[in-house]
Amino acid sequence: MRVRWQMFRFALVGVVNTGTYYGCYLLLLTWLPYIAAHTLAFALSMTGSFFLNSYFTYRTRPTWRKFLLFPLTNAANFVITTGGVYLLVDIGGYSDRWSPLVAAAAAIPITFAVSRMIMLRPEPARGPGPERAPVG
């Protein structure tokens, strides 16, 4: 049951994240080529996604370690969506405005699995020394 609720919350965060990404993408598309707009919008929305997933989806404390590992959760997403956008726009001749939304749908299950593994991974034991500060 817990995983089911995490999937539901992950989906809600995904909707917010997709809206953030898409809004940034459309704004950046007015100044940049579509791949550059996609890349920058992706990076901006990924930061917001980290905090939403930490607090809302997995209800875990954000740490620098998780923050630095979190981009790995989106590496597959980035490859799938970037390749998908390229295939849809340059090969398929589809609109550069709608292609990112279509390409993103294929990456969702992979992103959830990797995200869950990183965000719920136990922190390494702390030895003597300065305490590690949480992010945010």
pLDDT tens-place string over residues 59-72: 999 999 999 999 88
Q: Per the domain annotation, does 136 fall within a domain?
A: no
Distance of CA 17 to the CA centre of its chain: 7
Q: Round the average pLDDT of the chain to a whole number and report it.
A: 87
Beta strands in the chain (DSSP E): none
Q: Per the domain annotation, does 29 fall within a domain?
A: yes
In the predicted model, is pLDDT for residue 58 greater than 90? Answer: yes
In the predicted model, is pLDDT for residue 9 greater than 90? Answer: yes
Three-state secondary-structure class, residue 128: coil
**How many domains does one find in the chain?**
1
Distance CA 25, CA 40 (A): 8
Q: Per the domain annotation, does 115 fall within a domain?
A: yes
pLDDT at 134: 60
CB 62 within 8 A of CB 47: no
Q: Per the domain annotation, does 8 fall within a domain?
A: yes
Q: Per the domain annotation, does 128 fall within a domain?
A: no
Distance CA 93, CA 100 (A): 13
Distance CA 8, CA 11 (A): 5
Distance CA 31, CA 62 (A): 33
pLDDT at 128: 59
Q: Per the domain annotation, does 127 fall within a domain?
A: no
pTM over 0.85: no
Q: Specify the range with the lowest mean pLDDT, choosing from 39-43, 63-67, 108-112.
A: 108-112
Residue numbers of the domain that contains 39: 2-119
Q: Per the domain annotation, does 95 fall within a domain?
A: yes
Q: Per the domain annotation, does 135 fall within a domain?
A: no
